[in-house]
């Protein structure tokens, strides 16, 4: 049984039916996400980029401070994607008196290949050790690699975990860190709920395509027969919890057959919803609480002037 089919069987046995957003990122999904990052409604990417453009030197100093001039610094980025924003930080880090290596980690092999090629062209002096893998592989790198580490987890990727998963994941990340290491986490902050919801329901329908791509992928890789026009992309935001959620809602009663599950079928009721992604939004006290819960201290908080997004430097 293939991995994706197994995930479908497991996710469809839950109530509500669930598919993980980590399966969004095949080659098509990664391209769609790149388009999303440039959409007028999707503010997080350009806001974090502006923070790096305006405060990059101070962030680089905060990240390299623990390493000093005496030990090499490995910048390990989880979910590196196209690295567009990180390149600003890397340029600033290259100006610090430290021997730097960049270790981008991403689940998408195509994203890692494109990033590696662009880094060779744009930052030819930067030693790079790309890793096409899930986050768990990066945790091994963190635990075994000598020298200081600056771990980057940007773009509010942390928001794609449930609150419980956020604690577990950050605890795992914090566990191998030494006092010389730093962690930089990007958090999308709570704001006007309509702006948040619009960021996941863009007028051009790119986010809807991104969500539908999950079904396309299940059709292609698990032999499922989802009919895409029988589904609706539905995002909702709960301002009381900061939970931004995306759903695929079935427009009619339907039965889906999955070849990779020996032809197993799944009945879906009219207007039944499949949960496909959560993108949690945070407050600053909540971030401080999360850090404290996993034994990390907040070293410095970098925000845009409007307070839409925060990049937080953490250390043990």
Selected from 5, 19, 36, 208, the binder of ligand AVI by CB under 6 A is 36
- Per the structure block, which two tokens stand in for 57? 């030197």
Task: Write the CB contacts of 12 (distance below 8 Å, at least 6 apart in sequence).
Answer: 18, 266, 274
276 makes contact with ligand AVI (CB under 6 A):
no
Q: How far is CA 95 from the centre of its chain?
A: 27
Residue in 195, 183, 189 with CA at minimum distance from that of residue 156: 189
22/257 with CB nearer ligand AVI: 22
Select the span of 61-69, 92-100, 151-159, 171-179 touching ligand AVI (CB under 6 A).
Answer: 151-159
**Alpha helices (H) in 124-245, listed in sequence order:** 135-144, 163-174, 193-199, 206-222
How many chain residues are in contact with ligand AVI, going by CB under 6 A? 12
Query: Quick one: which of 141, 160, 213, 276 contacts ligand AVI (CB under 6 A)?
Result: 160
Within 40-59, the residues that bind ligand AVI by CB under 6 A are 44
Select 6 or 165, whichever has its Cβ closest to ligand AVI: 165
C-beta separation of 270 from 294 below 8 A? no
Residue 67 or 310: the one with the smaller Cβ distance to ligand AVI is: 310
Q: Are 102 and 108 in contact (CB under 8 A)?
A: no
Per CB under 6 A, contacts with ligand AVI among 192-251 are 200, 207, 210
Q: Using the rule CB under 6 A, which residue among 156, 166, 213, 276 binds ligand AVI?
A: 156
Kind of pairing, strands 131-132 and 100-106? parallel
Q: By the criterion CB under 6 A, which residues form the site for ligand AVI?
A: 36, 44, 155-157, 159-160, 200, 207, 210, 277, 279
């Amino acid at each position: 049984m293939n991995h994706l089919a197994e995930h479908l069987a497991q996710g469809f046995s839950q109530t509500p039916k669930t598919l993980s957003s980590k399966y969004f990122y095949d080659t098509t999904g990664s391209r769609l996400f790149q388009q999303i990052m440039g959409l007028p409604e999707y503010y997080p990417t350009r806001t974090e980029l502006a923070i790096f453009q305006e405060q990059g030197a101070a962030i680089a100093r905060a990240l390299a401070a623990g390493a000093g001039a005496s030990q090499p610094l490995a910048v390990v980025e989880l979910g590196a994607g196209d690295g567009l924003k990180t390149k600003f930080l890397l340029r600033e880090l290259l100006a610090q008196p430290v021997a730097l290596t960049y270790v981008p980690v991403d689940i998408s092999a195509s994203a890692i290949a494109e990033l590696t090629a662009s880094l060779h062209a744009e930052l030819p002096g930067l030693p790079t050790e790309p890793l096409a893998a899930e986050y768990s592989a990066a945790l091994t790198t963190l635990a075994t690699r000598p020298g200081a580490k600056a771990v980057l987890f940007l773009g509010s990727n942390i928001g794609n975990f449930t609150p419980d998963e956020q604690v577990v994941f950050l605890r795992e990340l914090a566990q191998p860190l030494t006092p010389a290491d730093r962690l930089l986490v990007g958090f999308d902050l709570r704001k006007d709920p309509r702006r948040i919801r619009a960021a996941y329901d863009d007028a051009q329908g790119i986010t809807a395509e991104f969500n539908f791509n999950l079904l396309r992928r299940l059709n292609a890789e698990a032999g499922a027969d989802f009919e895409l026009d029988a589904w609706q992309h539905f995002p909702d935001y709960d301002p009381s919890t900061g939970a931004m959620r995306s759903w695929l809602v079935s427009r009619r009663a339907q039965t889906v057959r999955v070849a990779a599950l020996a032809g197993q079928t799944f009945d879906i009721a009219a207007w039944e919803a499949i949960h496909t992604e959560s993108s949690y939004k945070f407050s600053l006290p909540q971030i401080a609480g999360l850090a404290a819960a996993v034994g990390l201290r907040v070293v410095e908080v970098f925000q845009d002037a409007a307070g839409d997004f925060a990049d937080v430097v953490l250390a043990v």
